[in-house]
Amino acid sequence: MPRMSLAYTIFKDIYQAHSIVINSTLALLLGLILFEMGWLTKSDYQPKGKHCYVTGGTQGLGKALAESLVRQGAHVTVIARDVEKGKRVEAELKSIAQPNQIIQFISADLTDPQSSLDTLNRATERFEGKVPDYIYLCAGFSKPKYMVDSSMKEFQAGFDGTYWVSAYTAHAAVKLMVTQRVLGKIVFVSSFLGYTSFAGYTNYSPGKYALRGLADALRSEMLLHDIKIHIFMPCGIAGPGYEAENEFKPAVTLKIEEDDTQISPEQCAAALETGLRKGYYQITDNIVCDFARLRSNGGVPTNNFFADCFYLFISSFGLPIWRMTADATVRKGRKAVQEDYEARGVYDHSSK
């Protein structure tokens, strides 16, 4: 008997004896693959006709997102401090909206708890008091600086501008959503620097990490009410915010970031909405952020089980290697920083 047909006979015997087990395993595997590819799950992300509340919606990521939401037929409320810029953006958004869409700008400093609460309540006025369906917390602050060069006030402003700027609004929104029984969504915006960090970000990363802690706890808690929590962890966004922070950015910080390719606010907003459509909890906008996500995520829901297992394997080598190079970059920066501190009289020579 030729070899092939011997193998075939053996396989046939095994298959016939265990067909139920083999068939159901194959069916399960196929189902799992289809599920992972999103073919069996219907997306519940649908901005059309929804009231979307976008903090930091007057520039960068927030503005690009607000534009996309208006184009999809959503009612959009945009929050930021600068009134002039806000009015300008409101007019721009109205110009691309249909007459039936409500577009409004509210000026507020969201690092203040009362102001965060009042602003959310004000936004509901044209919606018969109903809380916005989707809350996007894009407002943020970044002014990279070495800790030694920061005043206590600046240090605190960093945390306020990254954590409280979103946390107060989340608190107010969750209370309204639960009491009004609105099955809404809250989307936090952290950063690659909310997974890992390096020199220059002592006033930024703590707040961005804290947002992840808040989102992790809240995601779990909101399962009670069918309210969906998401967190976006983008890499560099080439907008006005990034340009402004680069003016102050320490040379070492800039050098480490050379490995990152910034994307436009529009591309970044598109990546966020793609993640929301897929129902991902932690949304990233490139593979480097995925590597960081898988090394730091505390077992929260994964995005694509098979791909995630593979990326975790790769990043188990990749991320520690990157960290060694980043540390080497910092060490190389020692001399210049120490000379600068000497020149600026930072060192207290009297203390020997």
Ligand X SMILES: CCCCCCCCCCCCCCCC(=O)[C@@H](N)CO
Ligand Y SMILES: NC(=O)C1=CN([C@@H]2O[C@H](COP(=O)(O)OP(=O)(O)OC[C@H]3O[C@@H](n4cnc5c(N)ncnc54)[C@H](OP(=O)(O)O)[C@@H]3O)[C@@H](O)[C@H]2O)C=CC1
Any idea which residues carry the catalytic annotation?
A: 204, 208
Using the structure block, give the residue that is written with the tokens 């999809």: 72
Contact 110, 55 (CB under 8 A): yes
Q: Which does 257 bind (CB under 5 to 8 A by kind): ligand X, ligand Y, none?
A: ligand X
Q: Which does 139 bind (CB under 5 to 8 A by kind): ligand X, ligand Y, none?
A: ligand Y
Q: Which of 50/145 has CB closer to ligand X?
A: 145
103, two tokens: 């577009």
CB contact burial 196-224 (16+ within 10 A = b; e otherwise): bbbbbbbbbbbbbbbbbebbbebbeebee
Q: Which does 206 bind (CB under 5 to 8 A by kind): ligand X, ligand Y, none?
A: none
The one-letter amino acid at 201: Y
Q: Which ranges of 96-204 would DSSP assign to H, the alpha helix?
A: 113-124, 152-159, 165-180
Q: Which of 52/193 has CB closer to ligand X?
A: 193
142 binds ligand X (CB under 6 A): yes
Compute the least distance from the CB of residue 280 to ligand Y, in Å: 17
Q: Which of 70/159 has CB closer to ligand X?
A: 159
On the CB side of 159, how many CA atoms lie within 13 Å of its CA? 9
Give, in degrees to the nearest 5, the angle at Cα 121 between 183 and 116: 100
Instruction: Indicate the SS3 state at residue 54.
Output: strand
Q: Which does 82 bind (CB under 5 to 8 A by kind): ligand X, ligand Y, none?
A: ligand Y
Q: Which does 109 bind (CB under 5 to 8 A by kind): ligand Y, ligand X, none?
A: ligand Y
Instruction: Indicate the SS3 state at residue 109.
Output: coil
Cα gap 193→234, rounded to integer Å: 9
Site string for ligand X, 224-263 (x = CB under 6 A): -----------xx----xx--x----------xx-xx---
Cα gap 27→55, rounded to integer Å: 45
Under rule CB under 6 A, which residues in 258-317 are in contact with ligand X?
Answer: 259-260, 288, 291
Output the CA torsion sign for 114, 119, 120, 121.
positive
Query: Which spans of this chain sit near ligand Y (rule: CB under 6 A)?
Result: 55-56, 58-62, 79-82, 85, 108-111, 138-142, 161, 165, 189, 191, 234, 236-237, 239-242, 265
The closest of 337, 342, 288 to 145, measured between CA atoms, is 337
Single residue of 38, 73, 279, 318 touching ligand X by CB under 6 A: 318
Kindly give the interhelix angle for 265-278 and 60-71, rounded to the nearest 10 degrees. Answer: 60
Q: How many residues bind ligand X (CB under 6 A)?
A: 18
Q: Which does 269 bind (CB under 5 to 8 A by kind): ligand X, ligand Y, none?
A: none
Instruction: Indicate the SS3 state at residue 63.
Output: helix
Q: Which of 77/142 has CB closer to ligand Y?
A: 142
Q: Which of 174/187 has CB closer to ligand X?
A: 187
CB-closest chain residue to ligand X: 318
282 DSSP 8-state letter: E
Q: Which of 46/115 has CB closer to ligand Y?
A: 115
Binding site for ligand X (CB under 6 A): 142, 191-193, 235-236, 241-242, 245, 256-257, 259-260, 288, 291, 318-319, 322
